[in-house]
Protein backbone atom coordinates (compact mmCIF):
# COMPACT_ATOMS: atom_id res chain seq x y z
CA UNK A 1 0.00 0.00 0.00
CA UNK A 2 1.60 3.29 -1.03
CA UNK A 3 1.06 6.71 0.55
CA UNK A 4 -1.66 7.54 -2.02
CA UNK A 5 -3.67 4.45 -1.06
CA UNK A 6 -3.23 5.33 2.63
CA UNK A 7 -4.44 8.87 1.84
CA UNK A 8 -7.58 7.53 0.09
CA UNK A 9 -8.37 5.25 3.03
CA UNK A 10 -7.75 8.16 5.42
CA UNK A 11 -10.20 10.40 3.55
CA UNK A 12 -12.89 7.69 3.60
CA UNK A 13 -12.46 7.17 7.35
CA UNK A 14 -11.02 10.45 8.54
CA UNK A 15 -12.37 10.34 12.10
CA UNK A 16 -10.84 6.96 12.86
CA UNK A 17 -7.63 7.42 10.84
CA UNK A 18 -6.82 10.95 11.99
CA UNK A 19 -3.94 11.46 9.54
CA UNK A 20 -3.41 12.13 5.86
CA UNK A 21 -0.10 10.33 5.53
CA UNK A 22 1.47 7.40 7.28
CA UNK A 23 4.31 7.99 9.74
CA UNK A 24 7.66 8.87 8.15
CA UNK A 25 10.71 6.63 8.69
CA UNK A 26 12.17 9.34 10.97
CA UNK A 27 9.05 9.39 13.15
CA UNK A 28 8.92 5.59 13.26
CA UNK A 29 12.56 5.51 14.37
CA UNK A 30 11.92 8.09 17.10
CA UNK A 31 8.91 6.13 18.32
CA UNK A 32 10.43 2.65 18.47
CA UNK A 33 14.18 3.36 18.62
CA UNK A 34 14.36 2.84 22.39
CA UNK A 35 12.89 -0.69 22.25
CA UNK A 36 15.68 -3.23 22.91
CA UNK A 37 16.38 -5.50 19.95
CA UNK A 38 18.55 -8.04 21.74
CA UNK A 39 16.01 -9.64 24.05
CA UNK A 40 12.64 -11.39 23.50
CA UNK A 41 9.77 -9.01 24.28
CA UNK A 42 5.99 -8.93 24.13
CA UNK A 43 4.89 -5.86 22.18
CA UNK A 44 1.41 -4.54 21.44
CA UNK A 45 0.75 -2.07 18.62
CA UNK A 46 -2.43 0.04 18.56
CA UNK A 47 -3.68 1.51 15.27
CA UNK A 48 -1.10 -0.04 12.92
CA UNK A 49 -2.90 1.14 9.76
CA UNK A 50 -1.29 -0.52 6.75
CA UNK A 51 1.72 -1.52 8.84
CA UNK A 52 4.60 0.92 8.41
CA UNK A 53 5.43 0.74 12.15
CA UNK A 54 4.56 -2.98 12.27
CA UNK A 55 7.15 -3.78 9.60
CA UNK A 56 9.79 -1.64 11.29
CA UNK A 57 9.09 -3.43 14.59
CA UNK A 58 9.39 -6.84 12.95
CA UNK A 59 12.69 -5.77 11.37
CA UNK A 60 13.97 -4.67 14.77
CA UNK A 61 12.63 -7.22 17.22
CA UNK A 62 14.37 -10.33 18.55
CA UNK A 63 13.35 -13.53 16.67
CA UNK A 64 11.55 -14.79 19.80
CA UNK A 65 9.56 -11.61 20.41
CA UNK A 66 5.77 -11.44 19.98
CA UNK A 67 3.91 -8.59 18.29
CA UNK A 68 0.10 -8.27 18.59
CA UNK A 69 -1.61 -5.49 16.65
CA UNK A 70 -5.13 -4.04 17.13
CA UNK A 71 -6.76 -2.36 14.12
CA UNK A 72 -10.41 -1.54 13.39
CA UNK A 73 -10.28 -0.62 9.68
CA UNK A 74 -10.99 -3.80 7.63
CA UNK A 75 -8.97 -2.55 4.63
CA UNK A 76 -5.92 -2.10 6.84
CA UNK A 77 -6.56 -5.47 8.56
CA UNK A 78 -6.53 -7.16 5.14
CA UNK A 79 -3.23 -5.50 4.35
CA UNK A 80 -1.69 -6.47 7.71
CA UNK A 81 -2.69 -10.09 7.11
CA UNK A 82 -0.43 -10.23 4.05
CA UNK A 83 2.61 -9.84 6.35
CA UNK A 84 4.03 -13.32 6.79
CA UNK A 85 5.82 -13.45 10.11
CA UNK A 86 5.16 -16.00 12.87
CA UNK A 87 5.74 -13.33 15.54
CA UNK A 88 2.77 -11.25 14.33
CA UNK A 89 -0.85 -11.64 15.49
CA UNK A 90 -3.44 -9.36 13.85
CA UNK A 91 -6.49 -8.59 16.03
CA UNK A 92 -9.31 -6.96 14.03
CA UNK A 93 -10.78 -5.28 17.11
CA UNK A 94 -10.57 -1.97 18.94
CA UNK A 95 -7.80 -1.03 21.34
CA UNK A 96 -10.42 -0.84 24.11
CA UNK A 97 -10.38 -4.67 24.16
CA UNK A 98 -6.75 -5.12 25.18
CA UNK A 99 -7.57 -6.62 28.56
CA UNK A 100 -9.41 -9.51 26.87
CA UNK A 101 -6.15 -10.55 25.20
CA UNK A 102 -3.46 -9.96 27.84
CA UNK A 103 -3.05 -10.76 31.52
CA UNK A 104 -2.22 -7.88 33.86
CA UNK A 105 1.47 -6.98 33.86
CA UNK A 106 2.37 -9.13 30.85
CA UNK A 107 3.38 -6.66 28.10
CA UNK A 108 6.76 -4.93 27.70
CA UNK A 109 5.89 -2.11 25.30
CA UNK A 110 2.71 -0.63 23.82
CA UNK A 111 3.33 1.33 20.63
CA UNK A 112 0.37 3.50 19.69
CA UNK A 113 -0.40 5.68 16.70
CA UNK A 114 -4.08 5.90 17.63
CA UNK A 115 -5.57 9.30 16.74
CA UNK A 116 -6.21 10.04 20.43
CA UNK A 117 -7.60 13.51 19.80
CA UNK A 118 -10.38 12.04 17.60
CA UNK A 119 -11.40 9.26 20.00
CA UNK A 120 -14.25 9.91 22.44
CA UNK A 121 -13.04 10.68 25.95
CA UNK A 122 -14.54 7.61 27.71
CA UNK A 123 -13.13 5.23 25.06
CA UNK A 124 -9.73 6.91 25.16
CA UNK A 125 -9.65 6.72 28.97
CA UNK A 126 -10.58 3.03 28.80
CA UNK A 127 -7.74 2.35 26.32
CA UNK A 128 -5.23 4.09 28.61
CA UNK A 129 -6.60 2.29 31.69
CA UNK A 130 -6.30 -1.12 30.01
CA UNK A 131 -2.83 -0.23 28.70
CA UNK A 132 -1.65 0.55 32.23
CA UNK A 133 -3.15 -2.71 33.43
CA UNK A 134 -1.44 -5.00 30.91
CA UNK A 135 1.99 -3.30 31.04
CA UNK A 136 4.74 -4.89 33.10
CA UNK A 137 5.96 -2.67 35.97
CA UNK A 138 8.96 -1.60 33.85
CA UNK A 139 6.96 -1.41 30.62
CA UNK A 140 6.48 1.69 28.48
CA UNK A 141 3.59 3.18 26.51
CA UNK A 142 4.88 4.97 23.38
CA UNK A 143 2.57 7.27 21.38
CA UNK A 144 2.90 9.98 18.75
CA UNK A 145 0.57 12.94 18.26
CA UNK A 146 0.59 16.08 16.09
CA UNK A 147 -0.14 18.44 18.99
CA UNK A 148 0.00 18.05 22.75
CA UNK A 149 -3.78 17.66 23.23
CA UNK A 150 -3.47 14.48 25.28
CA UNK A 151 -0.36 15.31 27.29
CA UNK A 152 -2.59 15.98 30.32
CA UNK A 153 -4.39 12.64 29.99
CA UNK A 154 -1.08 10.78 29.83
CA UNK A 155 0.41 12.78 32.74
CA UNK A 156 -2.66 11.95 34.83
CA UNK A 157 -2.32 8.24 34.13
CA UNK A 158 1.42 7.54 34.01
CA UNK A 159 4.02 8.44 36.62
CA UNK A 160 6.69 9.45 34.15
CA UNK A 161 5.95 11.05 30.75
CA UNK A 162 8.71 12.41 28.52
CA UNK A 163 8.04 14.19 25.23
CA UNK A 164 10.24 14.64 22.18
CA UNK A 165 9.54 16.21 18.79
CA UNK A 166 10.46 15.59 15.16
CA UNK A 167 10.11 17.96 12.22
CA UNK A 168 10.76 15.07 9.85
CA UNK A 169 7.12 14.06 9.41
CA UNK A 170 4.05 15.48 7.68
CA UNK A 171 2.91 17.14 9.90
CA UNK A 172 5.70 17.37 12.51
CA UNK A 173 4.94 15.21 15.52
CA UNK A 174 5.45 14.84 19.26
CA UNK A 175 6.43 11.46 20.70
CA UNK A 176 5.43 10.52 24.25
CA UNK A 177 7.26 7.86 26.25
CA UNK A 178 5.27 6.95 29.36
CA UNK A 179 6.06 4.61 32.22
CA UNK A 180 4.37 3.47 35.40
CA UNK A 181 7.43 4.56 37.35
CA UNK A 182 7.91 1.14 38.99
CA UNK A 183 11.60 0.69 38.21
C1 LIG B 1 -2.91 7.83 12.33
S2 LIG B 1 -3.35 6.20 11.71
C3 LIG B 1 -1.80 5.42 12.03
C4 LIG B 1 -1.38 4.50 10.92
C5 LIG B 1 0.08 4.04 11.00
N6 LIG B 1 0.33 3.26 12.21
C7 LIG B 1 1.01 5.22 10.95
O8 LIG B 1 1.54 5.60 12.01
O9 LIG B 1 1.19 5.77 9.88
C10 LIG B 1 -4.40 5.64 13.05
C11 LIG B 1 -4.86 4.20 12.94
O12 LIG B 1 -5.60 3.87 14.12
C13 LIG B 1 -6.71 3.05 13.76
N14 LIG B 1 -7.69 3.16 14.86
C15 LIG B 1 -8.47 4.21 15.18
N16 LIG B 1 -9.20 3.96 16.29
C17 LIG B 1 -8.83 2.72 16.70
C18 LIG B 1 -9.21 1.88 17.81
N19 LIG B 1 -10.10 2.30 18.72
N20 LIG B 1 -8.64 0.67 17.93
C21 LIG B 1 -7.72 0.23 17.01
N22 LIG B 1 -7.34 0.97 15.94
C23 LIG B 1 -7.88 2.19 15.78
C24 LIG B 1 -7.15 3.64 12.42
O25 LIG B 1 -7.97 2.75 11.68
C26 LIG B 1 -5.81 3.92 11.76
O27 LIG B 1 -5.33 2.79 11.08
Write out pLDDT tens, residues 43-77. Answer: 999 999 999 999 999 999 999 999 999 999 999 99
Atom of ligand 1 nearest to the CA of 19: 1
pLDDT at site 1:
55
Mark the ranges of the chain whose per-residue pLDDT is less than 50. Answer: none
Range of the domain at 27: 3-179
pTM of the shown model: 0.96
Q: In angstroms, what CA-CA distances link 129 with 81, 99, 141, 157?
A: 28, 9, 11, 8
Report the CATH number that the domain containing residue 22 is assigned in CATH.
3.40.50.150
pLDDT value at position 6?
77
The protein residue with its alpha carbon nearest to ligand 1, atom 27, reads 49
The CB density around residue 57, as the number of other CB atoms within 10 Å, is 27
Domain count for the chain, please give it.
1
CA-nearest residue for atom 16, ligand 1, is 16
pLDDT at 73: 96
Closest CA to 60 of 76, 90, 74, 39: 39
Residue of 47, 56, 73 best suited for mutating to test ligand 1, as the one with most atoms within 8 Å of CB = 47
Q: Are 35 and 109 in contact (CB under 8 A)?
A: yes
- The DSSP annotation for 74-124 comes to HHHHHHHTT---TTEEEE-S-GGGGGGTS-TT-EEEEEE---GGGS-HHHH
Residue to mutate, 5, 10, 16, ligand 1, most ligand atoms under 8 Å from C-beta:
16
Amino acid sequence: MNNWTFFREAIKNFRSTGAIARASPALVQRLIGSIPASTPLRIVELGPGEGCITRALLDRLHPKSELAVFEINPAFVGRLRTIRDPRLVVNPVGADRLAEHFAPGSVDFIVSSLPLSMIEQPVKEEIIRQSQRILRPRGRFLQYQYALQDYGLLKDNFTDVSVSFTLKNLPPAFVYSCSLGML
